[in-house]
Amino acid sequence: MYLLPTGKRSSPPSREKRVRLELKPGAVLVFAAVSLVAPSLKLALLLLASVVLHEVSHAIVAALCGSKVKAIGVNWTGTYIRREDTRRPRLNLLISLSGPLANLAIAAIAIGWLSHMNLILALGNLLPLPHSDGARAWHAISESVSG
Ligand SMILES: [Zn+2]
């Protein structure tokens, strides 16, 4: 059920408003990698939750800025969001940075291994490697400067 701010019930959102969850077969590799590096099942689940929060923060910032998020997914390379309206460089920069910022926030409040892993996730995602948040951020900056 979906609740309006007034507490009244409304009908579920139409298909166009829904965010699709895409779980590709390659997601098994992500889960396997997390379970291999985590010292316990509890920490593995907390790290997966961190990865989900990273992606959800991208989606929330996109939605708050008026960009339609079509899907949140996991494939063999990691997690991703698919959205419409990707031609706004400043918005792309904000969205790109929001995921690593979520990991930095988690690193600040978590302790020990989980804090370190979130710091690694944040900094690793900021590297300008193909398909990374860092590459998207640099691309958005170069588009803003040139156009
Ligand atoms: Zn990201």
- Torsion, CA 132, CA 75, CA 64, CA 20, rounded to 10: 160
Taking the mean position of all CA atoms in its chain, how far away is CA 19? 13
CA of 132 to the centre of ligand 1 (A): 7
Position of tokens 């689940």? 45
- Torsion, CA 109, CA 60, CA 64, CA 137, rounded to 10: 80
What pLDDT, on the 0 to 100 scale, is given for residue 3?
Answer: 41
**Domain segments of the chain: what residues?**
15-146
What pLDDT, on the 0 to 100 scale, is given for residue 17?
Answer: 73
d(CA 84, CA 39): 38
Residue 147 pLDDT more than 80? no
d(CA 70, CA 17): 8
User: pLDDT by residue (tens digit) across 21-68?
Assistant: 898 988 888 888 888 999 999 999 999 999 999 999 999 999 999 888
Angle at 15 between CA 14 and CA 16, to 5 degrees: 90
Half-sphere exposure of residue 82, counting CA atoms within 13 Å on the CB side? 11
CA of 125 to the centre of ligand 1 (A): 6
d(CA 4, CA 145): 41
What pLDDT, on the 0 to 100 scale, is given for residue 30?
Answer: 85
CA of 140 to the centre of ligand 1 (A): 14
d(CA 79, CA 92): 17
What pLDDT, on the 0 to 100 scale, is given for residue 12?
Answer: 65
SS3 2: strand
CA of 122 to the centre of ligand 1 (A): 9
CA of 10 to the centre of ligand 1 (A): 32
DSSP H stretches of helix in 25-65: 27-37, 41-64
